[in-house]
């Protein structure tokens, strides 16, 4: 027997009423024995140590002084904490300008990506039209297009439009959807029950209304994923800014990181490079931490059965 | 919850921000406007010094010079400049590595300078070019025309740690450049003396290997008289017996001092992309490396107490002449640039005595301007390398330079690893490059290429 | 039967209650409609995907046509192309470096794709644990994916140090001796595969979204039927994850066939030792922008595209058997 709406199991309801936590429960709502949770925690902590390693090394190197970098074998914990390295890293390039440019590009790309891919995926998933699945093969096909062959023709196009050395070539393509995100959203939106959509249609709702009232809430986890991916890809993009952004007023942080390479290879300031890299990914870390909770929110509201 | 409203609001804000901040202004072209892609963000102060000095001169007083630091993703990666020239957004002046000049010229990326010399200078092109060292000018010459003015240069030699050698009981006079030029055989014996291993067979101290540092195939080729291209027959000669002996050198050394063990040693004490402070030389583990004058500033900064000295590259027989090769940077004018008298004057200034005497000492390498060499405007510690310049040469100025470098380097690693013999390697190199040169039938490198370059005061 | 907290009041309507009652009887796939409905749907459908169509024409069709055209020429990127017919394709089949790069790429794909899926799924399960501090774990697991490739390569090389690197310390615990991965043509591929696993956060997030999409009621029903956690995973979770599994599989294959950035940075653009890390895409890029052989590079690109496409279509077609889209149909 399946209940029609997402309700919590009786035990969970009782627990909630009692104000107790809903944690440490299995997927089916049964409480989890303590040893199972403990083992899970141990595994998680071990995995965390592994995945924290690159970040740790980055921060540790960023804090080291030049002399300490020379030490061999490299020290695990920095002996002196040179917070000045972060200041040096920021002053070595026009950090604020680059930050602003990166931010403008990333925010625009995220908004455009989420909106356009959502609409497009709806067309591929929730509306039945002849030839739809054949057309979708084209979407898949475009995933395999090697990027170097697009470099020159695309640059020619933007140059002819006079938009080189502006932020537009890095933003506008996001408005036209991307095979990756369309594919992703489609996989999720295909799981929306047909009957629900049809019922709304019978009620006289337009597709646009259905898009926002039914599809949007249930696709929230997937849309959050698209937003995160688009943000990270855009923020860390190097190839695009390299080719399209020549003037310092429009360059981005990923180009700024290159400031630590010199003609004289002796002068790669490793600690400054790591400090700058950390500052560059810090906003992403914070944003991710804040937005990942929408995975949870999505399911509470979007349950439909 | 992300509501539709906040999404659209975000979109509007982004749109606004976009409109406000999206554009950079291109300076309008004018008789005194110069757009310049400089040395790199880490060295932009040097560009600015030269610019400021130029603005003080008569020729430069009205100039407006816009300096951009545009990074490249690698020396052999032309994606940026190709797209820029095609799109008409290339700068008027560009600082680049000399190595790619001929290849870039051959595909039409650069403007030839001979007409400009005739237009703006009173002297003949030959006389004008004679201000710079010959091999650097040759490296910028394609099809008889000059495509850039040379700026900096360097040379290659051995760097050795006196303490390590003394500790191993090696006679230091073998290495003293004033007294002796070491031979390959002697070098091999020295390494035997220096090597120390631990119980597992790993090297804890090592001497030298010809594939480390600047030990490229070209480095040894010039000493073993291996030519890449024959002007008279207009053919690629990468499979000559001399080239085979170059790779045999690697193979023999790898047999005597196993490549895998040496590689593990280097990976331990000098991992790739390590901070410049972490080298096998600085930690006293490696006795001898192959490097150039750029190393000097690193030595002073990171290992001021180590007795690191420089000497000539090893020769085949006792008494053979010394040899080396030089790379370096130059200034070029990309195709489609706004060519004005002011641009020409700035180019001349930067690549000439004034510019070189300002930046070269800060870079720590050597000038190409003969007057700058004569007047010693470079780090005095690099004197030995300056002595090498007259007998130095550049890599062959061929339009397939990149591919050639690529295949030679790969051959080095496969021969040292033992997956190919020297004979197989040179045959593969030839078959990879010869078809590419077929496009340039009858190509001739400058006649002066490969000959010694006269330097006043040598 | 409804409880106020779960019903979205904006969708309430008489039709819905009736439809929900009949949910179990509805087939999961689309019913054929009458021709006017079909035509209207066609128009609406095309309208919805119109941005994508425009994008494909500008950003895909135009560059693809351009490179197909270029693949029959010899072109430096600058001056006029010269027609050479099929010569580029012939050269590609004879070029030993093409063979090497294909071998490297296949090696990489065959190992990295399945491994990546397993790692990503495990990570997603870890990210889905119902513990209070899960937000912290999620961020930590995802963090390495945020590090730009340029900086990551510096860091990862330290980990691979034969004596002091973490990798060798761990190997030592299992009795292995010091290994220099980056000095060996096979080892360097393994190093890049390992580096890619640290970036499994992306695929894991997608699996996580898929995991969260499974309604709890299905699990509760299973529990009532007596299924334990493992049985639930095998019979419920995994089958319902197949849509995202398909996605991660296809994008994994596409990414593996185009592996480039990490290898380029770690080997400084050479692909050495001994072309061990010379992947197909890297060789393609070098030809395009290092050797000024854009025509040849275009031919290589066309070949890559065709192979990748064939693979994807194959996977997609096979997926009809095992991918389960509608939650109710299980």
pLDDT per position as a tens digit, B386-408: 999 999 999 999 999 999 999 99
Taking chain C (330 residues) in runs of 10, the rounded mean pLDDT of each run is 36 45 50 72 88 91 90 86 91 92 94 95 88 86 88 84 81 76 88 90 89 81 81 83 89 90 82 87 89 90 89 83 58
- B398 within 8 A of B437, measured Cβ to Cβ: yes
In 3D, which of B328, B262, A94 has the Cα closest to residue C180?
B262
Q: Quick check: is A4 in a domain?
A: no
pLDDT in tens, B130-154: 999 999 999 999 999 999 999 999 9
- C185 vs chain A: nearest CA distance in angstroms? 24
State the nearest Cα–Cα gap between C319 and chain B, in angstroms: 33
Q: What pLDDT digit, counting tens, does each position of B154-199 carry?
A: 999 999 999 999 999 999 999 999 999 999 999 999 999 999 998 8
Cis peptide before C306 (omega within 30 of 0): no
- If asked whether residues A154 and A195 sit together in one domain, one would say yes
Task: Identify which has the larger pLDDT, A116 or C30.
Answer: A116
Which domain covers residue A78, as residue numbers?
A: 10-82
Q: Are the C-beta atoms of residues A260 and A279 closer than 8 Å to each other?
A: no
**For residue A213, is it within any domain?**
yes
CB-CB under 8 Å, C145 with A232: yes
Residue A5 lies in a domain: no
Q: Are residues A253 and A131 in the same domain?
A: yes
pLDDT in tens, B238-278: 999 999 999 999 999 999 999 989 988 888 888 776 777 77
Give the C-alpha separation, B359 to B47, whole Å. Answer: 8
Higher pLDDT residue, B24 or B202? B202
- Shared domain for A108 and A243, answered yes or no, is yes
- The CATH number for C94-329, chosen from 3.30.572.10, 3.20.20.20, 1.10.10.10, 1.10.3720.10, is 1.10.3720.10
Of A26-40, B165-179, B351-365, the poorest mean pLDDT is in: A26-40
Examine residue A2 and state whether it is found in any structural domain, yes or no: no
Residues contacting residue B109 through CB under 8 Å, at least 6 positions apart: B78, B81, B82, B85, B334, B335, C78
Report the distance separating Cα B271 and Cα A270, nearest Å: 13
C226 vs B444, which has greater pLDDT?
B444
Mean pLDDT score across all residues of chain B:
88
Instruction: Grade residue A30 by pLDDT with cuts at 50, 70 and 90.
Output: confident
B25 phi-psi bin (left φ>0, alpha ψ -120 to 50, beta other):
beta
Asked which of A42-46, A235-239, B2-6 is least confident by mean pLDDT, the reply is B2-6
A246:B22 CB<8 A: no
Q: Do B335 and C78 touch (CB under 8 A)?
A: yes
B4 closest CB neighbour out of A148, A171, A212: A212
Give the single-character DSSP code of C234: I
Among A52, A82, A112, the domain-final residue is A82
Q: CA–CA distance from C183 to each of A216, B77, B82, B425, C277 (Å)? A: 51, 24, 34, 19, 11
Residue (of B117, B94, B108) closest to B37 by Cα position: B94
The reply to whether A226 and A179 lie within a common domain is: yes
CB atoms within 10 A of CB A216: 18
Give the count of Cβ contacts less than 8 A between chain A and B. Answer: 160
Q: Are residues A149 and A265 in the same domain?
A: yes
Q: Which of B353, B373, B393 is nearest to B219 (CA)?
A: B393
Distance between A229 CA and the closest CA of chain C, angstroms: 7
Q: How many domains does chain A have?
A: 2
Chain C positions touching B417 (Cβ under 8 A) are 185, 273-274
pLDDT confidence tier of residue B98, bands split at 50, 70 and 90: very high
Q: Are A296 and C135 in contact (CB under 8 A)?
A: no
Highest-pLDDT range among A147-161, B315-329, C24-38: B315-329
Alpha-carbon span B377 to B363, nearest angstrom: 11
Q: Which of C38, C59, C259 to mutate to test the interface with A (most CBs of A within 10 A)?
A: C59
Residues of chain A contacting C289 with CB distance shorter than 8 Å: 148
Contact A219, A186 (CB under 8 A): no
Tens digit of each residue's pLDDT (9 = 90 or more) over B59-74: 888 889 999 888 766 6
Distance from CA of C184 to the nearest CA of A (A): 23
- Specify if A3 maps to a domain: no
**In terms of CA atoms, which chain A residue is nearest residue B23?**
A166
CA angle A289, A291, A294 (to 5 degrees): 125
Mean pLDDT in residue range A191-210 = 88
What pLDDT was estimated at residue A295?
63
CA distances from A94 to A263, B47, B69, B251 (A): 20, 17, 12, 49
Cβ(C206)–Cβ(C248) below 8 Å: yes
Is the pLDDT at A9 greater than 80? The verdict is: no
Residue A1 lies in a domain: no
Clarify whether residues A141 and A193 are in a common domain. Answer: yes
| The 3-state secondary structure of chain A, one letter per residue | CCCCCCCCCHHHHHHHHCCCCCCCECCCCCECCHHHHHHHHHHHHHHHHHHHHHHHHHHHHHHCCHHHHCCCCCCCCCCCCCCHHHHHHHHCCCHHHHHHHHHHHHHHHHHHHHHHHHHHHHHHHCCCCCCHHHHHHHHHHHCCCCCHHHHHHHHHHHHHCCCCCECHHHHHHHHHCCHHHHHHHHHHHCCCCHHHHHHHHHCCCCHHHHHHHHHHHHCHHHHHHHHHHHHHHHHHCCHHHHHHCCCHHHCCHHHHHHHHCCCCHHHCCHHHHHHHHHHHHHHHHHHHHHHCCHHHHHHHHHCCC
- Average pLDDT of A7-24? 54
pLDDT of residue B5: 59
Give the burial class of B418: count Cβ atoms within 10 A of its Cβ; 0-12 exposed, 13-18 middle, 19 or more buried. Answer: middle
In whole angstroms, give the CA distance from residue B295 to residue B160: 12
Please name the residue that has the structure tokens 């003949």: B124
Question: What DSSP assignment string belongs to C288-328?
Answer: HHTS--HHHHHHHHHHHHHHHHHHHHHHHHHHHHH----GG
State the pLDDT at residue A304. Answer: 39
Q: What is the pLDDT of residue A221?
A: 82
pLDDT tens digits for range B189-226: 999 999 999 888 889 999 999 999 899 999 999 999 99
Mean pLDDT of B276-302: 88
- Kindly list the structural domains of chain B, giving each domain's residue range(s) and its CATH number in brackets, ordered by start: 33-154+326-393 (3.40.190.10), 157-324+403-437 (3.40.190.10)
The verdict on A50 and A164 lying in the same domain is no
Q: Are C249 and C113 in contact (CB under 8 A)?
A: yes
Burial pattern C162-200, b for ≥16 Cβ within 10 A else e, equals: bbbbebbeeeeeeeeebbbbbbbbebbbbbbbbbbbbbb
What CATH number is associated with residue A127? 1.10.3720.10
Interface chains of chain B (3 or more CB pairs under 8 Å)? A, C
Query: Are A57 and A160 contained in the same domain?
Result: no
- Closest C-alpha to B273, from C268, C104, A74, C17: C268
Asked whether the beta carbons of residue B15 and residue A108 sit closer than 8 angstroms, the reply is yes
Q: C290 vs B406: CB contact, 8 Å cut-off?
A: yes
- H/E stretch holding C251 reads helix C238-257
A39-76: per-residue pLDDT in tens?
Answer: 888 988 998 998 998 999 899 989 988 777 767 677 88
Nearest CA in chain B to A297: B1
Residues contacting residue B114 through CB under 8 Å, at least 6 positions apart:
B125, B145, B146
| Separation in Å, CA of B13 to nearest CA in chain A | 9
In this prediction, residue A144 carries a pLDDT of 85
| Residue A203 within any structural domain of the chain | yes
Query: C261 CB contacts (<8 Å, ≥6 apart)?
Result: C149
Q: pLDDT value at position C14?
A: 47
C-beta atoms of A111 and B43 within 8 A: no
CA angle A215, A221, A225 (to 5 degrees): 115
A119 is a domain residue = yes
Confidence of residue B458 (pLDDT cuts 50, 70, 90): low
**Best mutation site among C76, C195, C277 for testing chain B: the one with the most B CBs within 10 Å?**
C76
Q: Which residues of A touch B298 (CB under 8 A)?
A: 266
pLDDT band, residue B8 (cuts 50/70/90): low
């Amino acid at each position: 027997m399946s209940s029609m709406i997402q309700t919590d199991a009786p035990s969970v309801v009782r627990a909630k009423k009692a104000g107790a936590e809903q944690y440490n429960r299995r997927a089916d709502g049964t409480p989890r024995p303590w040893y199972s949770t403990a083992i899970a925690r141990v595994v998680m902590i071990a995995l965390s140590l592994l995945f924290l390693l690159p970040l740790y090394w980055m921060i540790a190197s960023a804090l080291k002084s030049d002399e300490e970098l020379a030490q061999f074998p490299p020290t695990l914990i920095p002996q002196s904490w040179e917070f000045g390295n972060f200041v040096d890293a920021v002053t070595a390039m026009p950090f604020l300008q680059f930050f602003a440019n990166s931010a403008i590009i990333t925010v625009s790309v995220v908004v455009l990506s989420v909106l356009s891919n959502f609409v497009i995926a709806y067309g591929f998933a929730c509306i039945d039209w002849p030839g739809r699945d054949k057309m979708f093969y084209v979407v898949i096909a475009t995933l395999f297009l090697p990027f170097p062959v697009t470099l020159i023709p695309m640059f020619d196009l933007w140059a002819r439009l006079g938009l080189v050395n502006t932020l537009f070539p890095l933003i506008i393509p996001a408005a036209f959807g991307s095979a990756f995100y369309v594919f992703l959203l489609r996989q999720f939106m295909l799981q929306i029950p047909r009957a629900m959509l049809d019922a709304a249609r019978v009620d006289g709702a337009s597709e646009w209304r259905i898009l926002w009232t039914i599809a949007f809430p249930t696709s929230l986890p997937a849309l959050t994923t698209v937003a995160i991916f688009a943000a990270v890809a855009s923020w860390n993009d190097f190839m695009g800014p390299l080719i399209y952004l020549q003037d310092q007023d429009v360059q981005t942080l990923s180009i700024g990181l290159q400031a630590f390479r010199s003609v004289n290879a002796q002068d790669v300031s490793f600690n400054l490079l790591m400090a700058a890299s950390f500052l560059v990914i810090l906003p992403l870390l914070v944003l991710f931490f804040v937005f990942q909770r929408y995975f949870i929110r999505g399911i509470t509201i979007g349950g439909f059965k | 919850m992300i509501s539709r409203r906040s999404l659209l609001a975000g979109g509007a804000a982004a749109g606004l921000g976009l409109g406000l901040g999206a554009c950079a202004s291109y300076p309008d072209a004018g008789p005194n406007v110069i757009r310049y892609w400089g040395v790199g963000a880490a060295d932009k102060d040097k560009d600015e010094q030269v610019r400021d000095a130029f603005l003080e001169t008569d020729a430069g007083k009205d100039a407006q010079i816009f300096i951009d630091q545009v990074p490249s993703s690698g020396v052999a990666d032309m994606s940026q400049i190709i797209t820029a020239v095609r799109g008409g957004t290339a700068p008027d002046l560009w600082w680049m590595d000399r190595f790619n000049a001929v290849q870039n010229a051959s595909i039409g990326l650069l403007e030839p300078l001979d007409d400009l010399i005739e237009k703006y200078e009173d002297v003949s092109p030959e006389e004008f070019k004679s201000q710079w060292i010959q091999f650097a000018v040759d490296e910028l010459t394609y099809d008889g025309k000059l495509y850039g003015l040379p700026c900096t240069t360097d040379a290659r030699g051995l760097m050795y740690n006196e303490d390590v050698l003394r500790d191993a009981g090696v006679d230091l006079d073998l290495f003293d450049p004033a007294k002796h030029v070491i031979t390959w055989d002697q070098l091999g014996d020295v390494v035997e003396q220096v090597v120390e291993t631990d119980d597992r067979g790993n090297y804890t101290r090592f001497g030298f290997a010809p594939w480390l540092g600047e030990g490229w195939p070209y480095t040894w080729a010039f000493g073993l008289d291996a030519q890449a291209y024959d002007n008279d027959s207009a053919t690629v000669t990468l499979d000559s017996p001399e080239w085979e002996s170059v790779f045999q050198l690697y193979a023999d050394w790898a047999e005597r001092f196993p490549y895998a063990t040496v590689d593990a040693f280097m990976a331990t004490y000098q991992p790739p992309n390590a901070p410049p402070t972490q080298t096998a030389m600085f930690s006293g583990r490696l006795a001898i490396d192959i490097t150039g004058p750029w190393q000097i500033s690193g030595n002073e900064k990171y290992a001021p107490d180590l007795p690191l000295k420089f000497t000539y590259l090893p020769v085949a027989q006792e008494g053979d002449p010394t040899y080396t090769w030089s790379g370096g940077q130059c200034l070029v004018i990309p195709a489609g640039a706004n060519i004005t008298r002011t641009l020409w004057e700035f180019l001349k200034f930067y690549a000439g005595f004034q510019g070189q005497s300002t930046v070269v000492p800060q870079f720590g390498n050597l000038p190409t301007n003969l007057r700058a060499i004569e007047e010693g405007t470079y780090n005095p510690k690099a004197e030995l390398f300056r002595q090498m310049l007259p007998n130095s040469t550049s890599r062959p100025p061929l339009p397939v330079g990149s591919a050639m470098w690529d295949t030679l380097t790969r051959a080095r690693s496969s021969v040292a690893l033992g997956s190919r013999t020297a004979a197989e390697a040179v045959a593969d190199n030839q078959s990879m490059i010869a078809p590419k040169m077929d496009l340039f039938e009858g190509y001739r490198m400058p006649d002066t290429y490969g000959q010694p370059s006269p330097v006043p005061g040598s | 039967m409804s409880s106020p907290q779960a019903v979205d009041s904006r969708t309430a309507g008489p039709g819905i209650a009736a439809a929900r009652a009949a949910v179990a009887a509805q087939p999961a796939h689309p019913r054929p409609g009458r021709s006017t409905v079909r035509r209207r749907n066609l128009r609406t459908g095309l309208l919805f995907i119109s941005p994508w169509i425009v994008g494909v024409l500008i950003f895909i069709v135009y560059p693809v046509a351009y490179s197909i055209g270029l693949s029959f020429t010899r072109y430096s990127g600058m001056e006029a192309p010269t027609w050479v017919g099929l010569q580029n394709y012939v050269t590609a089949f004879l070029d030993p470096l093409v063979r090497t790069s294909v071998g490297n790429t296949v090696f990489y794909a065959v190992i990295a794709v399945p491994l990546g899926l397993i790692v990503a799924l495990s990570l997603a399960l870890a990210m889905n644990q119902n513990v209070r501090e899960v937000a912290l774990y999620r961020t930590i697991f995802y963090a390495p994916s945020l590090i730009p490739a340029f900086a990551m390569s510096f860091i990862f090389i330290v980990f691979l140090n034969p004596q002091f690197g973490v990798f060798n310390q761990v190997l030592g615990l299992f009795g292995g001796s010091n290994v220099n991965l980056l000095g060996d043509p096979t080892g360097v591929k393994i190093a890049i595969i390992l580096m890619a696993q640290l970036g499994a956060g992306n695929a894991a997030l997608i699996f996580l979204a898929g995991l969260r999409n499974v309604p709890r009621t299905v699990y509760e029903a299973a529990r009532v039927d007596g299924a334990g956690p493992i049985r639930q995973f095998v019979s419920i979770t995994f089958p319902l994850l197949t849509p995202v599994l398909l996605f991660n599989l296809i994008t994994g294959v596409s990414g593996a066939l185009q592996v480039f950035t990490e290898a380029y940075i770690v080997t400084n653009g050479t692909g050495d030792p001994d072309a061990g890390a010379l992947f197909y895409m890297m060789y393609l890029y070098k030809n395009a922008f290092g050797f000024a052989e854009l025509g040849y590079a275009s031919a290589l690109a066309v070949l890559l595209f065709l192979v990748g496409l064939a693979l994807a279509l194959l996977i997609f077609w096979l997926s009809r058997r095992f991918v389960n889209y509608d939650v109710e149909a299980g």
